[in-house]
């Protein structure tokens, strides 16, 4: 294992810290799914093909826009929300969407909530359940930003 601040092998960037203040370094975009943004350790790949090894403290989740650096602060990796296969749910009324959110939450389904629509990871069983409730369900590919839940403890200024 490489020492903190060193590469594991040629080309691998070891990120160990999340920055709060903006810095002026060239940025490497790191697209991560919603699930990947909850895991603070492991190997990932930037959108330009550079390998990154996450060795971050295990508190909080990563959010799009978070800046990660190596121990020497010589390389800036910026988290992006990667496109994912999702279901887009639209209702005939606000109440129908609220009821859908209730039933999905009761199943501990991660949801992204909007005034006129809900998004959740593509699941044919859930799509069928929602359609039988009279909701319009379509598939799409887009970044997913589910609600953090009642016990989420990360915020940005």
Predicted local distance difference test score (pLDDT) of residue 150: 56
pLDDT in tens, the chain (157 residues): 444 444 344 589 999 999 887 778 888 999 999 999 999 999 999 999 999 999 999 878 999 999 999 988 888 999 999 999 999 999 999 999 999 999 999 999 999 999 999 999 999 999 999 999 999 999 999 999 998 765 555 444 3
Predicted local distance difference test score (pLDDT) of residue 152: 53
How does 109-129 read in b/e, with b if 16+ C-beta sit within 10 Å?
bbbbeeeeebbbbbbeebbeb
Q: What is the number of alpha carbons within 13 Å of residue 125 lying toward its C-beta?
A: 3
* CATH classification code of 12-81: 2.60.260.20
Residue with tokens 């909701």: 135
Predicted local distance difference test score (pLDDT) of residue 52: 95
Predicted local distance difference test score (pLDDT) of residue 8: 40
Q: Which CATH superfamily is domain 83-143 in?
A: UreE, C-terminal domain (3.30.70.790)
pTM above 0.95, yes or no: no
Residues of the chain with CATH 2.60.260.20: 12-81
Cα diameter, the chain? 57
Predicted local distance difference test score (pLDDT) of residue 60: 83
Residues of the chain with CATH 3.30.70.790: 83-143
Q: Which two tokens stand for residue 20?
A: 């709060």
């Amino acid at each position: 294992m490489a020492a903190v601040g060193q590469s594991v092998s040629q080309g691998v960037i070891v990120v160990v810290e999340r920055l709060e203040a903006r810095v002026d370094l060239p940025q490497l975009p790191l697209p991560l799914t919603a699930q990947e943004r909850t895991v603070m350790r492991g190997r990932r790949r930037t959108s330009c093909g550079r390998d990154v090894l996450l060795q971050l403290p295990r508190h909080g989740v990563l959010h799009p826009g978070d800046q990660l650096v190596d121990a020497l602060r010589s390389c800036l990796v910026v988290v992006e929300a990667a496109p994912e296969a999702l279901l887009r749910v639209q209702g005939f009324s606000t109440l129908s969407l609220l009821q859908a959110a209730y039933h999905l939450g009761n199943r501990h389904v991660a949801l992204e909530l909007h005034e006129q629509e809900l998004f959740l990871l593509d699941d044919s069983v859930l799509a069928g359940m929602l359609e039988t409730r009279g909701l319009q369900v379509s598939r799409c590919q887009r970044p997913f930003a589910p609600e953090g839940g009642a016990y989420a403890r990360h915020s940005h200024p």
